[in-house]
Chain A
Amino acid sequence: QVTLRESGPALVKPTQTLTLTCTFSGFSLSTSGMCVSWVRQPPGKALEWLALIDWDDDKYYSTSLKTRLTISKDTSKNQVVLTMTNMDPVDTATYYCARAYFDWLLGGYYFDYWGQGTLVTVSS
């Protein structure tokens, strides 16, 4: 059974750095084809992809947020950490982590399991 759970502060101040942890079970990030991604959703708005880390420790970032994001993994702990620097009120959103798998037949990545999300509010 695959599960993911996001953890981190519910409230951060402007200019601070946000650190979120995704703790997962039911799969291993050392297995070929496995990835973990972060996606956020401001209240009432659409989903926005942020970052992805794959089994080979390759990292991918949203173009618009690349300079502020860092994604890393600790395979032994089954955790993926996302840091976002210089937080602003517009970064207020629910942050989701999701398992993504690379389909070797189709060649695409699909986000098949998601955590329940954690709401992060940026306010002084």
Chain B
Amino acid sequence: EIVLTQSPGTLSLSPGERATLSCRASQSVSSSYLAWYQQKPGQAPRLLIYGASSRATGIPDRFSGSGSGTDFTLTISRLEPEDFAVYYCQQYGSSFWTFGQGTKVEIK
């Protein structure tokens, strides 16, 4: 089973700054099978990025995804106040889905 490790655990930034979140897989993952979700306190997760780099419907273009193989990145180009949340990567492989442990983006 593939394990996803996200780093850093917490990212302290100010509004307007750039956020770079990492997701590393224990073995190679098809880019098509990698997604990112955002979760705010008390809310359900929201799909941000699928297929490693495609934005889901309604997601602003300040969110972008990249990567391949075992290393994937979610970038938020300029943080807005509503972007402070926890972000999870997720992969699908061999009929199993796994999530990373999450990265919290907090206001500095």
Please give the residue numbers on chain A whose beta carbons come within 8 Å of chain B beta carbons, in ascending order. 37, 39, 46-49, 52, 60, 62-63, 96, 98, 103, 106-112, 114-117
Contacts and interface: CB of A to CB of B under 8 A. Distances in A.
A110 B97 contact: no
A114 B50 contact: no
Contacts, number: 72
Contacts of B57: 112
Contact of A49 (B44, B47, B96): B96
B93 to A, nearest CB: 10
The 7 closest A-B pairs by CB, nearest first: A114-B44, A106-B32, A49-B97, A110-B50, A47-B99, A108-B33, A108-B32
Contact of A103 (B44, B51, B88, B98): B51
A106 B44 contact: no
B47 A111 contact: yes
Contact of B45 (A60, A63, A106, A114): A114
B101 interface: yes
A112 B36 CA distance: 11
B61 to A, nearest CB: 18
A60 B51 contact: no
B64 to A, nearest CB: 17
Interface of B: 1, 30, 32-35, 37, 39, 43-47, 50-51, 54, 56-57, 88, 90, 92, 95-102
Given A63-B1, A96-B44, A117-B44, A112 B97 contact: no
B32 to A, nearest CB: 4
Contacts of B88: 46-47
Nearest to B98: A49
20 contacts: A46-B100, A46-B102, A47-B39, A47-B88, A47-B99, A48-B99, A49-B96, A49-B97, A49-B98, A62-B96, A98-B44, A106-B51, A108-B30, A109-B97, A110-B35, A111-B45, A111-B47, A111-B90, A114-B44, A116-B44
